[in-house]
Protein backbone atom coordinates (compact mmCIF):
# COMPACT_ATOMS: atom_id res chain seq x y z
CA UNK A 1 0.00 0.00 0.00
CA UNK A 2 1.42 3.36 -0.99
CA UNK A 3 0.14 6.58 0.56
CA UNK A 4 0.75 10.07 -0.69
CA UNK A 5 1.84 12.84 1.70
CA UNK A 6 -1.69 14.14 2.29
CA UNK A 7 -3.12 10.70 3.01
CA UNK A 8 -0.30 9.95 5.42
CA UNK A 9 -0.89 13.26 7.26
CA UNK A 10 -4.63 12.55 7.52
CA UNK A 11 -3.90 9.06 8.85
CA UNK A 12 -1.39 10.37 11.40
CA UNK A 13 -3.72 13.19 12.47
CA UNK A 14 -6.69 10.84 12.82
CA UNK A 15 -4.67 8.43 14.95
CA UNK A 16 -3.53 11.31 17.17
CA UNK A 17 -7.10 12.54 17.67
CA UNK A 18 -8.15 8.96 18.51
CA UNK A 19 -5.34 8.68 21.09
CA UNK A 20 -6.29 11.99 22.70
CA UNK A 21 -9.96 10.94 22.77
CA UNK A 22 -9.09 7.60 24.39
CA UNK A 23 -7.02 9.36 27.07
CA UNK A 24 -9.79 11.85 27.83
CA UNK A 25 -12.41 9.07 27.96
CA UNK A 26 -10.26 6.90 30.24
CA UNK A 27 -9.56 9.84 32.54
CA UNK A 28 -13.24 10.78 32.80
CA UNK A 29 -14.60 7.25 33.23
CA UNK A 30 -11.77 5.51 35.08
CA UNK A 31 -10.25 8.36 37.03
CA UNK A 32 -6.53 8.84 37.53
CA UNK A 33 -4.15 6.26 36.10
CA UNK A 34 -2.11 6.58 39.30
CA UNK A 35 -4.62 4.57 41.33
CA UNK A 36 -3.22 1.38 42.85
CA UNK A 37 -5.84 -0.75 41.07
CA UNK A 38 -4.03 -0.06 37.77
CA UNK A 39 -0.63 -1.20 39.03
CA UNK A 40 -0.92 -4.83 37.95
CA UNK A 41 1.66 -7.17 36.39
CA UNK A 42 0.04 -6.53 32.98
CA UNK A 43 0.45 -2.79 33.41
CA UNK A 44 4.12 -3.30 34.27
CA UNK A 45 4.58 -5.51 31.20
CA UNK A 46 2.85 -2.92 29.01
CA UNK A 47 5.11 -0.14 30.29
CA UNK A 48 8.25 -2.21 29.72
CA UNK A 49 7.05 -2.98 26.19
CA UNK A 50 6.32 0.70 25.52
CA UNK A 51 9.66 1.97 26.73
CA UNK A 52 11.63 -0.69 24.85
CA UNK A 53 9.76 0.35 21.70
CA UNK A 54 10.53 4.00 22.46
CA UNK A 55 14.22 3.14 22.85
CA UNK A 56 14.26 1.56 19.36
CA UNK A 57 12.40 4.53 17.86
CA UNK A 58 14.77 6.98 19.52
CA UNK A 59 17.80 5.13 18.15
CA UNK A 60 16.37 5.73 14.68
CA UNK A 61 15.53 9.38 15.47
CA UNK A 62 19.08 9.97 16.77
CA UNK A 63 20.48 8.67 13.48
CA UNK A 64 18.29 11.11 11.53
CA UNK A 65 18.39 14.30 13.64
CA UNK A 66 21.29 16.71 13.18
CA UNK A 67 21.51 18.30 16.64
CA UNK A 68 21.61 16.99 20.20
CA UNK A 69 18.97 19.57 21.16
CA UNK A 70 16.51 18.06 18.68
CA UNK A 71 17.34 14.58 19.98
CA UNK A 72 16.66 15.64 23.57
CA UNK A 73 13.38 17.34 22.64
CA UNK A 74 12.20 14.19 20.86
CA UNK A 75 13.35 12.03 23.76
CA UNK A 76 11.21 14.09 26.15
CA UNK A 77 8.26 14.03 23.74
CA UNK A 78 8.42 10.25 23.26
CA UNK A 79 8.89 9.47 26.97
CA UNK A 80 6.32 11.95 28.29
CA UNK A 81 3.71 11.73 25.53
CA UNK A 82 4.25 8.18 24.23
CA UNK A 83 2.47 7.50 20.96
CA UNK A 84 1.35 11.11 20.65
CA UNK A 85 4.99 12.21 20.65
CA UNK A 86 5.81 9.61 18.00
CA UNK A 87 2.81 10.76 15.92
CA UNK A 88 4.01 14.37 16.17
CA UNK A 89 7.49 13.33 14.96
CA UNK A 90 6.05 11.41 12.01
CA UNK A 91 3.71 14.29 11.11
CA UNK A 92 6.61 16.78 11.14
CA UNK A 93 8.70 14.48 8.96
CA UNK A 94 5.77 14.18 6.53
CA UNK A 95 5.38 17.97 6.39
CA UNK A 96 9.08 18.32 5.46
CA UNK A 97 8.48 16.30 2.29
CA UNK A 98 7.71 18.10 -0.93
CA UNK A 99 4.39 17.32 -2.55
CA UNK A 100 6.23 15.21 -5.14
CA UNK A 101 7.96 12.95 -2.62
CA UNK A 102 6.42 9.73 -1.33
CA UNK A 103 6.14 9.22 2.45
CA UNK A 104 8.39 6.16 2.07
CA UNK A 105 11.26 8.60 1.40
CA UNK A 106 11.25 9.53 5.11
CA UNK A 107 12.86 6.20 5.92
CA UNK A 108 15.73 6.78 3.52
CA UNK A 109 16.81 10.17 4.85
Given a cut of 90, whether residue 78 has pLDDT beyond it is yes
pLDDT band at 97 (very low <50, low <70, confident <90, very high): confident
Which pLDDT score, from 0 to 100, does residue 103 have? 64
The answer to whether 104 and 1 have CB atoms below 8 angstroms apart is no
- Residue 74, classified by CB atoms within 10 Å of its CB into exposed (0-12), middle (13-18) or buried (19+), is buried
Which has the closest alpha carbon to 81: 3, 2, 10, 23? 23
Name the average pLDDT for the chain: 81
Which pLDDT score, from 0 to 100, does residue 38 have? 67
Given a cut of 60, whether residue 90 has pLDDT beyond it is yes
Q: How far is CA 88 from CA 10, 17, 55, 79, 81, in A?
A: 12, 11, 17, 13, 10
- How far apart CA 6 and CA 18 sit, in angstroms, is 18
Could you tell me what percent of the chain has a pLDDT over 70? 81
Q: Please write down the HEC assignment for all residues of 21-55.
A: HHHHHHHHHHCCCCCHHHCCHHHHHHHHHHHHHHH
Which pLDDT score, from 0 to 100, does residue 104 have? 65
Which pLDDT score, from 0 to 100, does residue 8 have? 78
Given a cut of 70, whether residue 105 has pLDDT beyond it is no
Given a cut of 60, whether residue 109 has pLDDT beyond it is no
Q: What is the model's pTM?
A: 0.69
Which pLDDT score, from 0 to 100, does residue 75 have? 95
Amino acid sequence: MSLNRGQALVLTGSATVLMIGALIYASCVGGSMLQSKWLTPWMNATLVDLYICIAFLLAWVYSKEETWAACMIWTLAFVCLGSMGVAAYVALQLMKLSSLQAPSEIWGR
